[in-house]
Structure 1
Amino acid sequence: MAQSHAEREMAVKARTASRALQALRSEDRVAILNRIAESLEQHEQHIMAENALDVEAAGGGKVSDALLQRLILKPSKIQQLADGIRAIAKQEEPIGRLLSRLEVAEGLVLDKVTSPIGVLLVIFEARPDALPQIASLAIRSGNGLLLKGGKEAMRSNALLHRLIVDAVAEVAPGVGRDVIGLVTRRDEIDGLLKLNDVIDLVIPRGSNELVSYIQNNTRIPVLGHADGICHIYVDAAANLQQATAICIDSKVDYPAACNAVEKILVHDSLQGQPLESLVKALQDAGVSVHGGERTVAALGLPAAPSVRHEYSSMDVTVELVSGMDEAIEHIHANGSGHTECILTDDQAAADDFLRRVDSACVFHNASTRFSDGYRFGLGAEVGISTARIHARGPVGVEGLLTTRYLMRGKGQTVEKDKAVTYTHKALPLS
């Protein structure tokens, strides 16, 4: 009971602090974010030292190479985090934005405005850079936040959390440090997942097992994605030099990321030298190329583990398809709805692919690695959602908002609608 009470107390404090955060002037929340960015830069060496201890403790095969790569922070990443936080600070004020105004009846006006969701529980694995990104998005959008990072990043997360809540307390003492709580024990998660009366949204970032477990063990709405099985379709009309460069970047730039390509579908008219050149270029870039059913036979490649497989490593599957229809069918049957791409100089084919493929992000002649909140101009992302309600794709500030209705009247009463003449007239927003 004591443990359950502690979890509830943390969540209740986050909600109370979030209401104080929402009540701040926009410039005060901006000042908090700028102070966080400044603090990350000032403490770069300390952050790197703590992260090095985490990496050392996770080495020696204790975690997978993919997980280890997500754990490592570099000075360039610290600077990118600071830049992203400042970009969030520069965004238009998100809270209370007027979306619609309606005259319900004469002298009775109804506004629809944006509003914070409330309290978010974000559970993420290994990536300490996710912590300041998520915290900054929550602060800008006026949400309280509970964070549970992976044990592999324990030291990094503890320091980053302290720097952030110190900045909040310094700039806005009325909000205080409780607006962002750091959950340190894994056994606390189950208790938090039961708090559907205090926590409004859970966002898991991690393995399929983590996401599935959370979805099956809470009544709180869950936003996110379990798999990042991204496809590239190389069309018959592709510029092969450009296509090769995009395929390599989509895998090699950060193979452990959820937006890295896992399967390349190639039009069968490119069988022979074009396909062989693509495979060789991937191999020369350090990629282990696996074959689908047709390319195993055509090129003697080692067979892929399955038709639907997420490597999260320097591995990729290459398969032949008869054309775009088969490619789209394959993507819908075996993808995860994250990010897909067509490589072609045929504009009509590209437009058709973008229209028909049912994924959160669909690209033409661009690396799948662009599927990212920072690169989309959101400043950062709290995660990438493959759900359809309520946010899809990289989730920034806008995805952490809901709406409220504000009505202003002049003493009207309903009286079974006998005394009201409804006009339902749209009014200008200004």
Structure 2
Amino acid sequence: MFYKVASSRLQSTSFLIGKFGKLACKHRSKTKFMAAQYRNISTSAIQKQHALHRNDLVNAERIVVKLGSAVITREDECGIALGRLASIVEQVSQLQNQGKDVLMVTSGAVAFGKQKLHQEIIMSRSMRQTISRRDSSNHPLLEPRACAAAGQSGLMSLYEAMFLQYGIRTAQVLLTKPDFDDAYTCKNLQSTLNELLKLNIIPILNANDAIAPPPETDRDLAGIISVKDNDSLAARLSVETKADLLIIMSDVNGLYNTPPGTPGSRLLHTFCPSNESSQIVFGEKSRVGLGGMESKVTAANWALKHGVSCVICNGCEDNAIINIAGGKKVGTFFTSQPSTGTPVELQAIQAREGSRLLQALSGEKRAAMVHRLADLLLERKKEILAANQQDIQLAAKSGLSGPLASRLYLNDKKLTTLSDGLRQIADEALHAVGRVLQKTRISHGMELQQITVPIGVLMVIFESRPDALPQVAALAICSGNGLLLKGGKEASHTNKILHELVEEALLLFVPKETISLVSRREDIQDLLHLSDYIDLIIPRGSSQLVQSIQHASKGIPVLGHSEGVCHVYIDKHADIDKALRIVLDSKCEYPAACNAMETVLVHKSLVYTPLFDQICDVLKQENVKLHLGPRLAEVMKFGPVNDTDMKKEYSSLECAVEIVDNVNDAIKHINDNGSSHTDTIVTEDDDNAEIFIKMVDSACVFHNSSTRFADGYRFGLGAEVGISTSRIHARGPVGIEGLLTTKWILRGSGQIVQDFDEGGLEYIHEKLPIDYKNDSQNGGNSAVSHS
């Protein structure tokens, strides 16, 4: 009877699928039918290998999705959360239409039936009974088996209607534990599921709670998981059907080391059962359903042992299924591969502790560590260059070229320059931490001081520039900040040995964990959420990197620049030799740098002069490809291909050339198209130079100087953690000053606010002179004057 009703409903709702949808389904069904000939559903003695890493999940072809009761049930436990379920159906449909085989194990029949039977009970009451039961929370007790029987048909009708919107058919399969235990029944089940998948039909399975027997003694110890809830059902099904991936959806984000909300509770993004099972403390079961997290973990472990990858996730999270199938970090990924290295949360905590120890040291001790690092760069030069060559060779094999390849290369000269820069940082930062910025006598016996202190813990992400690692480490040490570093994989060997040198230098006075190297790219997403431990993120690299970090950071400030679109403006009063030298150096000295020139602006009166021809010739001689701006293209009959994108950062031997009317027009062009990084004017007219300097809205504005001078080392900062184009805290090359904040210290002698409110004491607010040498040496700890 149920089959007839279902068939009738299918016919009546078939109009939802258009002609194109029918053809697409037919084509997918034919393709999947052919593929299924080579992939039968059966239990085999041959153990298949599960995914060891998340990114392997993109190759999963057969996926079992288990929906827990808490995912699809409303908070009142009486009905289905339709919006949530619709989102899950859409994601499953997307995977199915991509050619994957998806099976669903669903709960919800009891909740659906409870709503239905509760309404029947209300309708059957007399008016007197209804009026006397005004408390809506006083629901009658309903037998779960009866609820399941009443809810199954409605739940399947709902699934059927939802999936039809995407041109997908569904079929219901109800199972009990004996169905798996009986070989004949199990074979029939395998045959049925195999045929449904061939026809591009999604099987929707559920435990037949209407007739399910009471749970029996566990058989897990015999190597077979007991089917006592939908978690164990999903695990057993995923193994029987040779699924590649099992997704168990719950109402929590994944597996925690202790119950969520308890002190020290931490989400485990990756879990290796053989290593970490003893560290897990389970809490209570969910508000609905038979299983809890312990049941889900047991099911996941069993599936993993039998070759099925597993992820436990929050079914309420947007696009969780799609993201998991795409290899993204969602929920807890179960793997047999033991985790290597320190968890990123612990790295951040250790960096915080190290920062406090660094801050407590004297400036001389912090400088001594940086001097030691500078020595090690020269002493271990051969090892560094050998590791760097290894990276370069691997980069060449992988096809890496252009700016990234250029930034990767190290040599003797670079290491010597790097070592000198570190010594400069150390010598000039002796009193950076604890320096008194201002002193005020609030009243007699009360002195207020503002002093410099470290920001706390920094996370610096950089691409393919291994020389950035010791520079940033030195700045962090001298500023008293803990540090987490994430370098590009293309420089992994070089970064590894450079970090070892940093650790060796740190051990003079603080733990080596004060500065840690993050090894895995996927850990970045976790770190971006650790606002309790990380205080500032500084990405160094491409505009895509900076923008992605700015977008993904959750509550942690990001310091950086999105692009380096730098300009050189050649004024009509420019000196020819200066103009040629500055343009050539700004573009060609290091075209991959963020402070390299990307656009030459030329005064319109110079277009038909020898200077303009010389500028173009000198760039062409260096193999620079020229792109004409829109205005220049209009006046040039013959020339390079027009390039209308005046906001592009080439980071290579290419640049744009454009004409402007005057200095004000150049300023407008730069403010409209630049990235607020670095811009320069070449002119002998001091008035034009001053207008340019005042009105160009960039972090660095130069007169008769190459844009390449926008650098921490060249500014005398020793090095930089990056160049900031933001307007808050730090701008331009960010050295030690940009890595410090302040705190206020008030020293009194027992005063309270009431003393001043009642007129007994008066505010003086007298500005006091600062003895920079003594005040900084004492960290602002000078005696309070009682005069």
Q: TM-score, normalised by structure 1?
A: 0.97
CA distance in 1, matches of 2:432, 2:731: 18
Equivalences for residues 6-405 of structure 1 within 5 A: 6-60=343-397, 62-92=399-429, 93-169=431-507, 171-172=508-509, 175-218=510-553, 219-273=555-609, 274-297=611-634, 298=636, 299-304=638-643, 306-405=645-744
Q: Quote how far apart the aligned CAs of 1:91 are.
A: 0.4
CA distance in 2, matches of 1:305, 1:3: 46
SS in 2 for 1:249: helix
CA distance in 1, matches of 2:662, 2:766: 50
**CA 1:151/1:305 → structure 2, altered by over 3 Å: closer, same or farther?**
farther
Aligned residue type for 1:2: L
Q: Quote how far apart the aligned CAs of 1:181 are.
A: 0.7
Gaps of 5+ in 1: none
The CA deviation string for residues 243-264 of structure 1, in whole angstroms up to 9 with x for no partner, is 0111011000000000000000
**How many residues align structurally?**
427
**Conserved? CA contact 1:414–1:420, under 8 Å:** no
The CA deviation string for residues 19-48 of structure 1, in whole angstroms up to 9 with x for no partner, is 111111111111101100000000111101
The CA deviation string for residues 212-246 of structure 1, in whole angstroms up to 9 with x for no partner, is 11111121011011100000100000011210111
**Conserved? CA contact 1:103–1:110, under 8 Å:** yes
The CA deviation string for residues 339-358 of structure 1, in whole angstroms up to 9 with x for no partner, is 00000011111111111111
Q: Quote how far apart the aligned CAs of 1:305 are.
A: 5.8
**Conserved? CA contact 2:680–2:702, under 8 Å:** yes
Which moves more between the two structures, 176-185 or 284-293? 284-293
Aligned residue type for 1:303: N
Q: CA RMSD in A?
A: 1.3
Whether 1:425 aligns to 2:425 is no
**CA 1:61/1:331 → structure 2, altered by over 3 Å: closer, same or farther?**
farther
**Bigger-Rg structure (1/2):** 2
Aligned residue type for 1:23: A
SS in 1 for 2:538: strand
CA distance in 2, matches of 1:429, 1:35: 32
Q: Quote how far apart the aligned CAs of 1:429 are.
A: 1.4
Q: Quote how far apart the aligned CAs of 1:62 are.
A: 2.5
Q: Quote how far apart the aligned CAs of 1:294 are.
A: 2.6
Q: Quote how far apart the aligned CAs of 1:296 are.
A: 2.6
**CA 1:204/1:282 → structure 2, altered by over 3 Å: closer, same or farther?**
same
Q: Quote how far apart the aligned CAs of 1:163 are.
A: 0.6
CA distance in 2, matches of 1:424, 1:241: 56
SS in 2 for 1:422: coil
**Conserved? CA contact 1:290–1:303, under 8 Å:** yes
Aligned residue type for 2:559: L
**Conserved? CA contact 2:629–2:644, under 8 Å:** no
CA distance in 2, matches of 1:19, 1:303: 56
Q: TM-score, normalised by structure 2?
A: 0.53
CA distance in 2, matches of 1:74, 1:295: 41
Aligned residue type for 2:519: T
CA distance in 2, matches of 1:35, 1:328: 46
**Conserved? CA contact 2:598–2:655, under 8 Å:** yes
Q: Quote how far apart the aligned CAs of 1:272 are.
A: 1.1
CA distance in 2, matches of 1:241, 1:152: 40
CA distance in 1, matches of 2:356, 2:399: 42
CA distance in 1, matches of 2:518, 2:405: 21
CA distance in 1, matches of 2:530, 2:494: 27
**Conserved? CA contact 2:550–2:558, under 8 Å:** yes
- What is the percentage of aligned positions where both structures have the same residue? 49
Q: Quote how far apart the aligned CAs of 1:3 are.
A: 4.6
Q: Quote how far apart the aligned CAs of 1:397 are.
A: 0.5
SS in 2 for 1:146: strand
Q: Quote how far apart the aligned CAs of 1:417 are.
A: 2.9
Q: Quote how far apart the aligned CAs of 1:307 are.
A: 1.9
CA distance in 1, matches of 2:465, 2:523: 20
CA distance in 1, matches of 2:394, 2:700: 36
Q: Quote how far apart the aligned CAs of 1:306 are.
A: 1.1
The CA deviation string for residues 185-237 of structure 1, in whole angstroms up to 9 with x for no partner, is 01100110101111000000111111111111121011011100000100000
Partner of 1:408: 747
CA distance in 2, matches of 1:145, 1:328: 39
The CA deviation string for residues 126-166 of structure 1, in whole angstroms up to 9 with x for no partner, is 10000000000000000000000011110010110011111
Query: Where is the strand percentage greater, Structure 1 or Structure 2?
Result: 1
SS in 1 for 2:769: coil
Q: Residue 2 of structure 1: which of 268, 273, 280 is its match?
A: 268
**Conserved? CA contact 1:295–1:301, under 8 Å:** no
CA distance in 2, matches of 1:420, 1:112: 23
SS in 1 for 2:378: helix
Q: Quote how far apart the aligned CAs of 1:60 are.
A: 4.2
CA distance in 1, matches of 2:432, 2:716: 15
Aligned residue type for 1:272: Y
**Conserved? CA contact 2:628–2:644, under 8 Å:** no
Gaps of 5+ in 2: 1-266, 271-341, 772-787
CA distance in 2, matches of 1:39, 1:381: 20
Aligned residue type for 1:89: A
Q: Quote how far apart the aligned CAs of 1:359 are.
A: 0.3
SS in 2 for 1:257: coil
**Conserved? CA contact 2:628–2:656, under 8 Å:** yes
SS in 2 for 1:2: coil
Q: Quote how far apart the aligned CAs of 1:63 are.
A: 2.4
